[in-house]
Chains A and B, each alone.
Chain A
């Protein structure tokens, strides 16, 4: 059981800056994120795309912003629990007990949800019956590529993941690449390579097709794909890989008894607390009259939520407002030596 002041759910820009705001008022926190890296939507959706509306930063990319925020919170030596999703929370007396899907447990006096639009998860094939074959014959990510050796692998998708795995697996497997349209998106070098491998007969490419159904009982023997012109084609295959990008799912947060407005959590604008005492929501996931889904708004929300956490972490102390420019205490916490 990890005991700390606050748990932040979500390691996007807003969660990261909130670490800073907690840190300068002397609160410790840990951060959980379902992605395998820090940065949230900034790093997953637009690492190389420019952002023009961060105050005093005329232009930066999602990755630049993430790197700078990581640097800014370095003094607080915060622990990040990546690849983990918070599953359960319960209140015992005045503490929140939080459990992740990997079994990590936290005891905290407050929780800040900075979860964006939810946890990133791979988008799956729309056919429900396929679920029982997942991690046996159907995969949305690859952990052990050896299982595909000498087998027929049908890959669906048209982006970099689909192209990269088609190239990689074509060494030792028979690869069929299926995409819903003729154009592939992804790095030109990868597209060229796939086309070359196609010419050499190492990758079969089928476009304007989507998965229609699978055949087999215990095991999938064949799949049926449907062309844009409504014709069907059967393929014998051992494995099926789907790379359709990531979607954001609110997931277990929806089960915690928080008020929800569509997929957002209503908060008060005084301290961004939700209807549950000690649970705060900031960034894209929170809503209130006039809410703007901007990173800069999330920074403000985090600053206030951090102060809202103080009364739960230090019920007997009074928080005094200070500027980092002049506060010796804040500067000590930032590790600044003069």
Chain B
């Protein structure tokens, strides 16, 4: 299974195996990784699963769909590596993906 690394704002990191077909958000929530709230449950209707994707990974991810960028406008401290983790689908190609979690979501 692909391994995904979640780095907390305080530097602590968790690397976990996330099954193909789940999202990076679901991987975090199901494994009790703190800092990803996912209030809307993955519907791209909030911005509380916001993560910063590590630079070398950012362009390797499938592009954002319409609406994700609009939602990121409403995230806490977005930057050019911001993504909504509910919109990143885990596949073998993402083995080793590293995302950082913002200091807060709301």
Contact = CB atoms under 8 A, between A and B. Distances in A.
A75 interface: no
B85 to A, nearest CB: 16
Interface string B29-53: 0000000010111000111100000
Contacts, number: 49
A247 B105 CA distance: 10
Interface size class of B (residues with CB under 8 A): 10 to 19
A282 B71 CA distance: 26
B12 interface: no
B45 to A, nearest CB: 5
B76 A263 contact: no
B92 interface: no
Interface string B65-104: 0000110011011111000000000000000000000000
A137 interface: no
Interface in A245-292: 245-249, 262-263
A159 B46 contact: no
Contact of B74 (A41, A126, A183, A244): A244
Interface string A175-198: 000011101010000000000000
B69 A183 contact: yes
Interface residues of A, number: 26
A173 B57 CA distance: 44
B37 A159 contact: no
A159 B73 contact: yes
Contacts of B39: 117-118, 248, 263
Contacts of B22: none
Contacts of A15: none
B106 interface: yes
A179 to B, nearest CB: 8
Interface in B1-49: 37, 39-41, 45-48
A37 interface: no
A157 B73 contact: yes
B69 A181 contact: yes
B92 to A, nearest CB: 29
Interface string A141-180: 0000000000000000111000000000000000000011
A245 B78 CA distance: 14
A248 B46 contact: yes
A185 B69 CA distance: 9
A133 interface: no
9 contacts: A45-B40, A45-B46, A117-B40, A123-B106, A126-B76, A159-B70, A185-B69, A185-B73, A248-B106
